Amino acid sequence: MGRITLDKVAKRFGDVEVIPPLDLTIEDGEFVVFVGPSGCGKSTLLRLIAGLEDVSGGQIRIDGKDATAVQPAKRGLAMVFQSYALYPHMTVRKNIAFPLRMAGLSQQEQDKKVEGAAAVLNLTNYLDRRPGQLSGGQRQRVAIGRAIVREPSAFLFDEPLSNLDAALRVGMRLEISELHNRLATTMVYVTHDQVEAMTMADKIVVLNAGRIEQVGSPLELYHRPRNTFVAGFIGSPKMNLIEGAEAAKHGVATIGIRPEHIAVSPESGTWKGKVGVSEHLGSDTFFHVLDTGLADAITVRAGGEVDLHHGDTVYLSPDAAKMHRFDTEGLRIE
Amino acid sequence: MATKASRSAARLMISPAVILLLAWMIVPLSLTLYFSTLRYNLLMPGMEEWAGFSNYYYFLTDPAFFDALRNTLVLVGGVLAITIVGGVLLAILLDQPMWGQGVVRVLVIAPFFVMPTVSALVWKNMFMNPVSGLFASLFKTLGLQPFDFLAHAPMFSIILIVSWQWLPFATLILLTAMQSLDSEQLEAAEMDGAPPLKRFWFITLPHLARAITVVILIQTIFLLSVFAEILVTTNGGPGTATTNLTYLVYAQSLLQFDVGGGSAGGVVAIVLANIVAIFLMRMIGKNLDA
């Protein structure tokens, strides 16, 4: 079980309100990702759930029970830190066994559980090494191992992949997702990387300046962003947000169109512009089109083989059906 | 420093310093060795003669030598124990966020800048004096008999004075070590169910181990040669109660005018200090490579 309910939870540091009162429900077994730009309060929110910070107002319920004043260790949650926070003077075995030792389990039980966790995480050969002798990915797995031996009702991850190189990050992303499928335990995951959020989450919580901008499944957020912030934040490369005369033609304050919903042609189209920087990824090419008179640059996606060069004139045709419309307050208009 | 010419130039330029340092060490050492084989008494100038190893024989069989050896160990051990335990506790305290932290930290470091003779005199006359000292008046307010520290617990008093001087040093080193502890480790331990005392024992203390060994090493080097504090407070007494090796060598050469015997004592002290150094280096060498 691991249903976490936040009821008007708020956090202030002195006079600064980091998180205005917010409500959120995390269902049992869900993989929830908190995503937002740095400084948006997502880590603080996670630490409030963990109990490492005291709430300034509101209530946190875990499995229906009030946990607002409960000590971190007693909440039944396990946390994986950004720096892994492994104990450098202990071997991997002792690191993983530490929470069990603190819980007063017998040596035999400790060994059994540690072996079990090590087998799940492919750490069996490294049990007698120190964290200093492990690679980044292995350290990450030890940190996860230390979390899973406790059999918590929910896992909390605080930007766990941000210290890994790109290739490892993709690998660990898969491993964590797989772990979630196998354990079916609630996981709350904080990241600033919207790709991680999109690929891993059952439910994404987009945060901005401590406020929840939108909660929903990755595709919901992609297809129906509630406001311009979410529209600009979810999706890679970013959605083109166009204001001014072009938006007025559609009778709204802002229109948004994703790079993948714009057709590129050298001959004809709705908007005319000049090719700026192009990013060739092999499968796709992203063109930054300048001088359209709409925005500084319009990003468009084309196939990998499109033969356009810096300075060429291109015509862009947005797919009207995939266009997003927003009012003066930045809210979505259906 | 790649070419042959630059390397020999470097050697050439560094040689004056090396030669000076070498001479600085070699000359007194060989003179001490030489004196230790002479019958050399300051009251009989010009009568020096070859004495073989008799100076060593007399120094090593002197009952005061064993007292001094024991006193040296007690002094070093006592001060180390007090400064390290006290230093860890103070470092924890100073690591807490509090009002006026900067000023408090400077105040804590202050005793280290007071010269040993001065601090020993302050302790002797203003704190431990059985008539006019602060402790005496404290005892009297409580209706107790004033305690003559330097007469009845001389070694303890000296340990107290020297500890007071070295506590800031230990605190400073341990505080910086404490500040380098990753707070996420403590939080992880908290999540793992470790209460504060266990967090200290399993996380903070192992993290401090390296700093503690550094403190032990540095302090031992200096504590083996404590002298001023003894000279201005007890003069090595009562009897030999506070005579350490350094003081014994001094007493031998300058109070008993026996330079030969004093030199022999000096050589013995060098040998003993090196034995201690070897043990320490082994212990610390193991602790320093992570």
Tokens of A120: 């799940």
Closest Cα in chain A, distance from residue B193 (Å):
5
User: Long-range contacts for B239-242 (Cβ within 8 Å, ≥24 apart)?
Assistant: B240/B64, B240/B67, B240/B68, B240/B71, B241/B67, B241/B71, B241/B154, B241/B155, B242/B71, B242/B154, B242/B155, B242/B158
Tokens 């166009």 sit at which residue? A242
ipTM: 0.80
Show pLDDT as tens, one digit a residue, over chain B (290 residues): 578 888 889 899 999 999 999 999 999 999 988 888 888 887 888 777 887 888 888 888 888 888 888 999 999 999 999 999 999 999 988 888 888 888 888 888 888 888 889 999 999 888 888 888 888 888 888 888 878 888 888 899 999 999 999 999 999 999 999 988 888 888 888 888 888 898 899 999 999 988 898 898 889 888 988 888 899 988 887 888 888 888 988 888 888 888 888 888 889 888 988 888 888 888 777 766 54
Q: Cβ of B209 and A78 within 8 Å? A: no
| DSSP category for residue B180 | T
Task: Decide if A52 contacts A72 (C-beta within 8 A).
Answer: yes
Asked if A85 and A113 touch (Cβ cutoff 8 Å), the reply is no
Strand-pair category, A186-191 with A203-208: unpaired
Residue of A nearest to B205 (CA): A89
- Report residue A181: phi and psi, to 5°: -60, -40
Is B190 in contact with A73 (Cβ distance < 8 A)?
yes
Q: Do B175 and B89 form a contact (C-beta atoms < 8 A)?
A: no
Q: What would the two tokens of residue A26 be?
A: 């995390």
Which residue among A82, A83, A102 places its CB closest to the CB of B192? A102
Order across the sheet with A262-265: list the strands: A262-265, A313-318, A271-280, A284-290, A298-303
Rounded distance, CA A205 to CA A207, Å?
6
Residue B185 and residue A85: Cβ atoms within 8 Å?
Answer: yes
For A103, the closest chain B residue by CA position comes to B193
∠ CA A224-A225-A227, nearest 5°, is: 135
What's the pLDDT tens digit per position in B84-98?
A: 999 999 998 888 888
Neighbour tally for B221: CB within 10 Å: 14
* DSSP designation for B254: I
Contact B202 A81 (CB under 8 A): no
- B272 in Cβ contact with B244 (< 8 Å): no
Closest partner residue to B185 (CB to CB) among A82, A87, A132 is A87
Residue in chain A closest to B207 (alpha carbons) equals A89
Report DSSP letters for A117-161, one per residue: HHHHTT-GGGTTS-GGGS-HHHHHHHHHHHHHTT--SEEEEESTT
pLDDT reported for residue B287: 66
d(Cα A47, Cα A41) in Å, to the nearest integer? Answer: 10
List of chain B residues whose C-beta atoms are within 8 Å of the C-beta of residue A14: none
Contacts of B275 (CB under 8 A, 6+ apart): none
- Give all domains of chain A, ordered by start, each with its CATH number: 4-230 (3.40.50.300), 241-333 (2.40.50.140)
Number of other CB atoms surrounding residue B229 within 10 Å? 25
Angle at B86 between CA B83 and CA B90, to 5 degrees: 125
Give the chain A residue nearest B193 (alpha carbons): A73
Spatial separation of the C-alpha atoms in residues A42 and B22, rounded to whole Å:
62
Task: For residue B119, give the nearest of B160, B150, B79 by alpha carbon.
Answer: B160
Q: What is the DSSP letter of A238?
A: P
- CA of B278 to nearest chain A CA: how many angstroms apart? 25
Q: Are B83 and B163 in contact (CB under 8 A)?
A: yes
pLDDT in tens, chain A (334 residues): 688 888 888 888 888 888 888 899 999 989 999 998 888 888 888 999 988 888 888 889 888 888 888 888 888 888 998 888 899 889 899 899 998 888 888 888 888 888 888 888 888 888 888 988 888 888 888 998 898 888 888 999 998 888 888 888 888 888 889 889 988 899 999 998 888 889 889 999 999 888 899 999 999 999 999 999 999 888 888 898 888 888 888 888 888 999 999 988 888 888 888 888 888 888 888 989 888 877 778 899 888 777 888 888 888 888 888 889 888 888 888 7
- pLDDT (0 to 100) of residue A303: 82
In A, which residues are within 8 Å of B188 by CB distance? 79, 81, 85-87, 146
- Contact of A20 with A8, CB cutoff 8 Å: no
Is residue A116 within 8 Å of residue A96, measured between CB atoms? no
**What pLDDT, on the 0 to 100 scale, is given for residue B1?**
56
Min Cα–Cα distance to chain B from A334, Å: 45
Residues A7/A13/A16/A20 CA torsion (nearest 10 deg): -10
Beta-carbon separation of B192 and A73 below 8 A: yes
**What is the C-alpha separation between B106 and B89, in angstroms, rounded?**
17
Start-to-end C-alpha separation, chain A: 38
A31-35/A186-191 β-pairing: parallel
Read out DSSP for B133-165? SHHHHHHHHTTPPPP-HHHHSHHHHHHHHHHHH
Residue for token pair 């050298």 = A266
A76: Cβ contacts below 8 Å, ≥ 6 apart: A2, A62, A152, A153, A154
Using a CB-CB distance cutoff of 8 angstroms, which residues of chain A are in contact with residue B192? 73, 98-99, 102, 146, 150
**Cβ-proximal residues to A43 (8 Å cutoff; 6+ apart), any chain:** A158, A159, A190
Return the sign of the alpha-carbon dihedral for residues A246, A247, A253, A259. negative
Q: What values do phi and psi take at A326, rounded to 5?
A: -130, 145
Radius of gyration of chain B measured on its C-alpha atoms = 24
Q: Mark B252-290 as b/e (b = at least 16 C-beta within 10 Å).
A: bbeeeebbbbbbbbbbbbeeebeeeeeeeeeeeeeeeee
Answer yes or no: do A146 and B184 touch at CB < 8 A.
no
What is the Cα–Cα distance from B79 to B230, expressed in whole angstroms? 14
- CB-nearest to A85 from B187, B198, B207 is B187
Instruction: Report the residue of chain A nearest B206, measured CA to CA.
Output: A89
Report the residue of B181, B182, B185, B192 to disrupt the A interface, i.e. the one with the largest count of A CBs within 10 Å: B192
Element (H, E) at A79: strand A77-80
Domains of chain B: 54-288 (1.10.3720.10)
Residues of chain B whose beta carbon is less than 8 angstroms from a beta carbon of chain A are: 182, 184-185, 187-194, 198, 202-203, 206-207, 209, 290
**Contact yes or no for A99 and B185 at CB 8 A:** no
A241 CB neighbour count, 10 Å cutoff: 18
Return the H-helix or E-strand segment holding B217. helix B205-223
Joined together, the tokens standing for residue A86 give: 């492994």
Would you tell me how many other CB atoms lie within 10 Å of the CB of residue B224? 19
Give the distance from residue B201's alpha carbon to the nearest chain A alpha carbon, in angstroms.
Answer: 12
Give B184→chain A minimum CA distance, Å.
Answer: 5
